[in-house]
């Protein structure tokens, strides 16, 4: 195997670089920055179930617990010093008030002994109160800027969420769609982490706006590993 | 005229006797018998072949009753005649709780048909006798197409006879007008009952019927059905059941018509080993069309219909008028074909089960069934579409598309000769449908749980419903049915101080009305024909051709050619929910595959097929090519006994194959394939994939199963043990796409997920949530939730056909015959040919991703 192929395969193993910073894209949908011991997750959409319930759609009220449990096992594995939630952490502004006692306790346990930042999203613009951590509009760490929505014409180093990237590929007469990290070496859009968070196909116009075309890679979440696939190779549709 | 007819002809009142005489008709014995039952206030099931005047029989009692007493046209006669069968006494005052409105008229008979086209057609057919006998009886239809103003008027001023569908009945029952409208109802006529009862629509209708019996103390029911295996199932369906004792409606059986003349085409061509296109026989099909006035060409799937239609037109040198009819075509297009058919302008229609039921065409003189018959009863009903007069025989020709289908056709011919029926057994009422019904009841007015439970038990499919299950359904409707009680504030229905359950808000009822029904269609996209795109600009508008499943379009790229609505089309673009296509010509267009129409062959036919294979004496009736095929199989390998399972193993191209022949249908075989793959993995046989057809399953891998069997490391008895339906099944269900699709249907029917919303039509995707995500979360946190139980019950008989698999595993216990071969056997050829043609299953998702990624690496290296 040539050096390039080896490097490409290694990249698919989960190493992704943004603006020269080496990061690990975890196949559970979180991003880890080893040098800073920093874990980032996007679009948790906690209390989405109960948000639907207020409108009469009685979805199973277990999504917050499910999302926190998955986050918990990541925190146990990486033991990060800092956790950044990239906005839309709550499905709506009232969500923070609906978190159950058990889920509050779970969240408290996750936050213990580390910095925790809630970045404001369009679903949850108001600073989070009474659930630990601090709130911010964005977070800058070295050359990296963490914010909720990708900004038009942002400089290299932006890591955002908001768009819920999802990639779809076909082969063997069938198609597979998975959540993914969309990245082109300069910027990155992270997959949504929430149990009830849907997805937007990376061939949607919104991603062309971020990356200035289809010259980016979809790092699709697989079982136990990440698959790096050129966006151009991915199908449209859900 | 038979003696019975002479005797009972006198029973027909004057205007009717005269009307029959004027037309030169004799009332048929079963028509008079049904009339006599109705006069005696009895509910009855009429079983009659097509063309026996079933529908007239169903309406005759109503017309006679209303004509006998002109005053009864204005208001229900009082006191009520006949014995009340309702749960409540007839002394009850009926008070309209609807909005203040003057009430007039009264509804005497409700007619329910599975097809709205059929309701409309019958209303039209009733006009003639009513006019000729000068009977001032009002007959109206109410379907999804009926304007809101007319529906309003029908509630204030109902006709004497209302023709409608199960969904419309549910809607009316969920309104405050129901007690007024139905309180005086005398008769409900259920047409094509054999077709209705086999689905969740039948469950919903049974609950509606239970409601009607409770509202209308004088109600009797009449069921009209084709011949079925178990008439008692339908007789129960028509009567309010009492706990512990089955209650049966009376039974009227019409005399058999002339026996149908059915044959199998003995093709002069080479019989294909696999495939479903029947291209080899197309010239022979064309000749049959040429020799007959009007022919119906039935096929099993919409993609087959498209293919056959294309191929027929390819050789249509005489320019015969041959049309296409299937459920995905635009309604206007379908109506045009039906009208052309009715007026005798067509020589042939290539069609799917979309024409199994419905409108009466006397002119059809031949039915051709291409492909597998699937079931004897189903085939008979299709052939009955020819020659809708019962004294003349219907004519049918079976065209097997491959060698195995020859066996199935042969089995079906035997079954017809033996007058055997193989309609499916009665359903157990689904819990998701019950949930929908409970919400509907609350929309109609307050209900009491004890009373509603008692009423639901009177519906035959729910006669055995446990109180705990009813309470779980009620809890689901109210607050979602979760162990974690988080949603009391958001309840959809609430219990008042009096104990009655009411909707919490009028919007709940509004949303119920928009989402009523049990038919959950795949997400469909409209297909519009536009001119080929010369510029980048996509032209809007264009003629609507029909609808195609969203997932099919997603596998296409712009520029791809595919066949739809009988044309070769070029995929131009997808704009919102419309697919733009242009006319194209392509050598090898793609034929869309559809979800529907893939149900398995009946257990009865499967058993007969195994019997034919096992018994050389029965081979005489088979074409020489098929006989030879079986001969070589018995020489090279062996032929399994009727109750045995033959398992063959052989190496081929560096892989090891295991092929087995359960003959239980593709769905059960797919499930078996999934479960065997897991066991292969555990036995370190490194499985790579499997493929299933209606008769066999082939599974292959890198490990040599035959060597393991010979060495005693692998036992076939253990491999095929019933315990695979335990943990292995559970583990697979967790991730199965088929299970997720099944769950989605249940979630929609039960009302967890709504597909239509009041107000502006928002984009579907903007509002709905992925049921796959809900499934994952619910399965982990509340595995016994009512919706998961409903989905598991569906999986037993639906896409996963687990029940059938279970029955098979128990049948073959101790009867597995293993044949280790050094190369492929003749019997294995058909299923092996499916590799590459049919989707290869297996846990291939990760593999697919690996391949896509490898491509990227390759690209980078070039």
pLDDT (average), residues B44-73:
85
Fold of A16-233: Purple Acid Phosphatase; chain A, domain 2 (3.60.21)
Is the Cβ–Cβ distance between B34 and B252 less than 8 Å? yes
Q: Which residues make Cβ contacts (< 8 Å) with residue B680, sequence separation at least 6?
A: B686, B687, B699, B701, B703, B705
The domain boundary, picked from B253, B269, B294, lies at: B253
Distance CA B108, CA B183 (A): 10
Do B313 and B412 belong together in one domain? yes
Give the least confident one: B83-97, B182-196, B232-246, B384-398. B83-97
Are the Cβ atoms of B482 and A169 closer than 8 angstroms? no
- Chain pair A-B, CB pairs under 8 angstroms: 137
Query: Hey, of B835, B848, B854, B862, which one would you mutate to test binding to chain A, going by the most A CBs within 10 A of its CB?
Result: B848
Maximum average pLDDT range among A184-193, A228-237, B796-805: A184-193
Query: Hey, of B853, B854, B862, which one would you mutate to test binding to chain A, going by the most A CBs within 10 A of its CB?
Result: B853
Are the Cβ atoms of A59 and B845 closer than 8 angstroms? no
pLDDT at B214 over 70: yes
Q: pLDDT for B719-759, tens place per residue?
A: 999 999 988 888 888 777 778 888 999 999 999 988 777 65
Interface of B with A in 345-384 (CB under 8 A): none
Q: Which of B412, B397, B381 is nearest to B51 (CA)?
A: B381
pLDDT at B715 over 90: yes
The 8 Å CB, 24+ separation contacts for A205-210 are A206/A163, A207/A163, A207/A165, A207/A182, A207/A231, A209/A152, A210/A150, A210/A163, A210/A182
Q: Which residues make Cβ contacts (< 8 Å) with residue B469, sequence separation at least 6?
A: B431, B434, B786
Q: What is the pLDDT of residue B664?
A: 93
Domain with residue B175: its CATH number is 3.40.50.300
Q: Do the domain assignments include residue B634?
A: no
Percent of chain B with pLDDT strictly greater than 90: 52
Instruction: Using CA atoms of B6, B7, B13, B15 in order, give the dihedral in degrees to the nearest 10.
Output: 0
Q: What is the pLDDT of residue B853?
A: 82
Query: Hey, of A3, A58, A94, which one would you mutate to test binding to chain B, going by the most B CBs within 10 A of its CB?
Result: A58
Q: How does the average pLDDT of chain A come out, rounded?
A: 91
Q: Do the domain assignments include residue B591?
A: no
Do B132 and B248 belong together in one domain? yes
Distance CA B353, CA B326 (A): 8
Looking at CA atoms only, how far is residue A123 from chain B in angstroms? 14
The domain boundary, picked from B565, B583, B601, lies at: B583
Q: Is B861 on the interface with A (CB under 8 A)?
A: yes
pLDDT at A129 over 80: yes
Are the Cβ atoms of B859 and A54 closer than 8 angstroms? no
Query: Hey, which bits of B165-304 come out as E strands?
Result: 187-190, 220-225, 250-253, 261-264, 295-298
pLDDT at B91 over 60: no
Q: Do the domain assignments include residue B630?
A: no
Give the least confident one: A51-60, A174-183, B306-315, B527-536. B527-536
Grade residue B837 by pLDDT with cuts at 50, 70 and 90: low
Cβ burial, residue B662 (10 Å; 0-12/13-18/19+): buried
Grade residue A193 by pLDDT with cuts at 50, 70 and 90: very high
Do B710 and B778 belong together in one domain? no
Q: pLDDT for B238-254, tens place per residue?
A: 999 998 789 999 999 99
pLDDT (average), residues A205-229:
92
Distance CA B781, CA B436 (A): 24
Do B719 and B760 belong together in one domain? no
Do B35 and B170 belong together in one domain? yes
Q: What is the pLDDT of residue B10?
A: 59
Q: pLDDT for A96-127, tens place per residue?
A: 999 999 999 999 999 999 999 999 999 999 99
Are the Cβ atoms of A229 and B777 closer than 8 angstroms? no
pLDDT at B275 over 50: yes
Q: pLDDT for B156-184, tens place per residue?
A: 889 999 999 999 999 999 998 899 899 98
Do B555 and B685 belong together in one domain? no
pLDDT at B766 over 50: no
Q: What is the β-pairing status of strands B295-298 and B348-351?
A: parallel
Helix (H, G, I), strand (E, B) or coil at B829: helix
Are the Cβ atoms of A59 and B480 closer than 8 angstroms? yes
Distance CA B241, CA B114 (A): 23
Do B272 and B130 belong together in one domain? no
| Planar angle of CA B815, B821, B825, nearest 5 degrees | 85
Q: pLDDT for B574-632, tens place per residue?
A: 776 788 888 887 666 666 655 444 678 899 999 999 999 999 999 998 999 999 999 99
Q: Do the domain assignments include residue B596?
A: no
A11 alpha carbon, distance to own chain's centre: 18
Q: Do the domain assignments include residue B621?
A: no
Do B156 and B54 belong together in one domain? yes
Stronger pLDDT, B334 or A38, i.e. the higher one: A38
Distance CA B11, CA B40 (A): 13
Cross-strand bridge partners of residue B119: none
Q: Is B821 on the interface with A (CB under 8 A)?
A: no
Do B172 and B225 belong together in one domain? yes
CA distance to B299, B314, B566, per residue, from B545 (Å)? 20, 21, 10
The parent domain of residue B454 ranges over 431-519+740-793
pLDDT at A237 over 80: no
Q: How many domains are there within chain B?
A: 5
The domain boundary, picked from B394, B417, B440, lies at: B417
Closest CB to A56 among B492, B774, B844? B492
pLDDT at A175 over 90: no
Is the Cβ–Cβ distance between B580 and B553 less than 8 Å? no
Distance CA B272, CA B401 (A): 7
Do B60 and B206 belong together in one domain? yes
pLDDT at B303 over 70: yes
Q: pLDDT for A54-79, tens place per residue?
A: 988 999 999 999 999 999 999 999 99
Q: How many residues does chain B have?
A: 862
Q: Which of B531, B574, B535 is nearest to B556 (CA)?
A: B574
Q: pLDDT for B455-510, tens place per residue?
A: 999 999 999 999 999 999 999 999 999 999 989 999 999 999 999 999 999 999 99
Do B783 and B807 belong together in one domain? no
pLDDT (average), residues B224-230:
92
Q: Do the domain assignments include residue B618?
A: no
Closest CB to A62 among B490, B507, B777? B777
Do B64 and B197 belong together in one domain? yes
Q: What is the pLDDT of residue B588?
A: 63
Domain segments of chain A as ranges: 16-233
Distance CA B804, CA B614 (A): 21
Give the least confident one: A8-17, B309-318, B526-535, B645-654. A8-17
Are the Cβ atoms of A57 and B754 closer than 8 angstroms? yes
Question: What pTM was estimated for this model as a whole?
Answer: 0.88
Q: How does the average pLDDT of chain B come out, rounded?
A: 86
Percent of chain B with pLDDT strictly greater than 70: 87
Q: pLDDT for B620-664, tens place per residue?
A: 989 999 999 999 999 999 999 999 999 999 999 889 999 999 999
Grade residue B89 by pLDDT with cuts at 50, 70 and 90: very low
């Amino acid at each position: 195997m040539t050096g390039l192929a080896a490097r490409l395969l290694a990249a698919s193993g989960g190493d992704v670089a943004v603006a020269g910073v080496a990061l690990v894209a975890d196949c559970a949908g979180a991003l880890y920055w080893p040098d800073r011991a920093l874990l980032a997750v996007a679009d948790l959409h906690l209390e989405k179930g109960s948000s639907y319930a207020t409108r009469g759609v009685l979805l199973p009220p277990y999504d917050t617990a499910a999302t926190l449990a998955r986050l918990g096992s990541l925190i146990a594995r990486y033991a990060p010093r800092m956790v950044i939630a990239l906005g839309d952490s709550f499905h709506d502004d009232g969500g923070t008030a609906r978190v159950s006692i058990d889920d509050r306790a779970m969240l408290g346990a996750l936050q213990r002994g580390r910095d925790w930042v809630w970045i404001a999203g369009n679903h949850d613009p108001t600073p989070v109160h009474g659930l630990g951590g601090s709130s911010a509009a964005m977070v800058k760490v070295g050359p990296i800027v963490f914010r909720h929505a990708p900004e038009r014409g942002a400089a290299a180093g932006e890591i955002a969420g908001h768009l819920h990237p999802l990639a779809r590929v076909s082969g063997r007469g069938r198609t597979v769609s998975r959540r993914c990290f969309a990245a082109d070496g300069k910027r990155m859009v992270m997959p949504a982490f929430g149990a009830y968070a849907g997805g937007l196909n990376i061939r949607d116009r919104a991603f062309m706006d971020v990356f200035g075309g289809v010259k980016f890679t979809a790092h699709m979440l697989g079982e136990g590993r990440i698959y790096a696939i050129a966006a151009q190779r991915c199908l449209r549709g859900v | 005229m038979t003696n019975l007819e002479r005797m009972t002809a006198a029973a027909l009142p004057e205007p009717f006797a005269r009307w029959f005489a004027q037309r030169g008709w004799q009332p048929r014995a079963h028509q008079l018998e049904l009339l006599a039952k109705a006069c005696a206030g009895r509910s009855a099931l009429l079983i009659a072949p097509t063309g026996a005047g079933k529908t007239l029989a169903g309406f005759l009692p109503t017309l006679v009753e209303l004509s006998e007493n002109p005053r009864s046209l204005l208001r229900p006669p009082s006191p009520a005649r006949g014995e009340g069968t309702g749960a409540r006494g007839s002394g009850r005052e009926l008070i309209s709780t609807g909005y203040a409105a003057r009430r007039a008229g009264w509804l005497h008979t409700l007619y329910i048909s599975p097809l709205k086209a059929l309701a409309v057609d019958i209303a039209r057919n009733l006009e003639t006798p009513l006019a000729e006998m000068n009977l001032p009886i009002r007959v109206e239809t109410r379907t999804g197409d009926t304007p809101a103003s007319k529906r309003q008027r029908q509630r204030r001023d109902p006709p004497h006879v209302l023709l409608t569908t199960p969904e419309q009945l549910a809607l009316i029952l969920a309104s405050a007008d129901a007690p007024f409208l139905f309180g005086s109802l005398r008769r409900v006529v259920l047409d094509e009952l054999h077709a209705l009862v086999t689905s969740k629509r039948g469950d919903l209708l049974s609950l509606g019927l239970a409601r009607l019996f409770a509202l209308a103390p004088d109600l009797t029911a009449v069921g009209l059905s084709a011949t079925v295996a178990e008439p008692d199932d339908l007789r129960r369906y028509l009567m309010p059941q009492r706990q512990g004792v089955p209650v049966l409606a009376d039974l009227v059986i019409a005399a058999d018509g002339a026996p149908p003349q059915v044959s199998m085409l003995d093709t002069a061509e080479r019989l294909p080993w696999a495939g479903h296109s029947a291209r080899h026989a197309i010239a022979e099909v064309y000749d049959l069309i040429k020799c007959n006035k009007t022919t119906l060409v039935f096929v099993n799937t919409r993609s087959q219909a498209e293919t056959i239609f294309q191929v027929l037109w390819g050789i249509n040198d005489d320019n015969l008028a041959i049309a296409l009819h299937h459920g995905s075509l635009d309604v206007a297009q379908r109506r045009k074909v039906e009208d052309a058919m009715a007026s005798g302008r067509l020589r042939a229609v290539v069609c799917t089960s979309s024409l199994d039921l419905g409108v009466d065409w006397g002119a059809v003189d031949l039915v051709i069934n291409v492909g597998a018959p699937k079931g004897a009863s189903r085939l008979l009903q299709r052939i009955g579409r020819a020659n809708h007069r019962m004294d003349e025989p219907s004519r049918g020709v079976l065209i097997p598309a491959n060698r195995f289908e020859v066996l199935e056709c042969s089995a079906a011919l035997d079954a017809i000769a033996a007058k055997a029926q193989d309609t499916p057994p009665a359903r157990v009422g689904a819990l998701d449908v019950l949930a929908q019904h409970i919400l509907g009841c609350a929309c109609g007015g307050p209900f009491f749980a004890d009373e509603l439970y008692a009423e639901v038990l009177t519906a035959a499919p729910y006669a055995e419903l446990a109180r705990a299950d009813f309470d779980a359904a009620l809890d689901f409707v109210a607050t979602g049915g979760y162990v974690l009680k988080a949603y009391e504030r958001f309840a959809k229905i609430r219990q008042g101080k009096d104990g009655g359950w009411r909707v919490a808000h009028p919007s709940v009822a509004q949303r119920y009305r928009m989402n009523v029904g049990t038919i959950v269609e795949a997400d469909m996209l409209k297909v519009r024909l536009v001119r080929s795109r010369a510029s980048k600009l996509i032209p809007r508008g264009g003629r609507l051709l029909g609808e195609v499943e969203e997932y099919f379009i997603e596998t296409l790229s712009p520029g791809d050619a595919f066949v739809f609505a009988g044309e070769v089309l070029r995929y131009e673009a997808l704009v919102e929910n419309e697919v733009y296509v242009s006319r194209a010509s392509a050598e090898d267009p793609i034929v869309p595959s559809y979800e529907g129409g893939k149900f398995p062959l009946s257990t009865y036919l499967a058993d007969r097929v195994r019997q034919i294979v096992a018994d050389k004496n029965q081979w005489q009736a088979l074409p020489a090519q098929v006989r030879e095929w079986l001969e070589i199989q018995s020489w090279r390998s062996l032929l399994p006994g009727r109750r045995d399972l033959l398992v063959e193993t052989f190496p081929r191209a560096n892989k090891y194959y295991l092929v087995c022949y359960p003959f239980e249908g593709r769905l059960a075989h797919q499930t078996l394939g999934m479960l065997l793959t897991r066991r292969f993995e555990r036995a370190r046989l490194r499985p790579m994939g499997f493929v299933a057809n209606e008769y066999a399953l082939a599974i292959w891998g890198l490990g040599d199963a035959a060597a393991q069997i010979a060495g005693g490391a692998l036992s076939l008895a253990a491999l095929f043990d019933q315990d695979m339906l335990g943990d292995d099944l559970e583990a697979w269900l967790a991730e199965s796409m088929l299970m997720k699709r099944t769950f989605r249907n249940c979630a929609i029917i039960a009302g967890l997920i709504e597909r239509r919303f009041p107000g502006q039509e928002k984009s579907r995707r903007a509002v709905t949530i992925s049921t796959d995500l809900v499934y994952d979360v619910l399965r982990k946190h509340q595995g016994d939730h009512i919706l998961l139980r409903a989905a598991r019950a569906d999986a037993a008989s639906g896409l996963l056909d687990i029940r059938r698999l279970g029955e098979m595993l128990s049948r073959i216990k101790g009867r597995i015959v293993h044949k280790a071969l050094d190369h492929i056997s003749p019997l294995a050829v058909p299923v092996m040919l499916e590799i590459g043609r049919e989707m290869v299953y297996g846990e291939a998702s990760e593999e697919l991703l690996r391949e896509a990624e490898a491509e990227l690496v390759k690209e980078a290296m070039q």
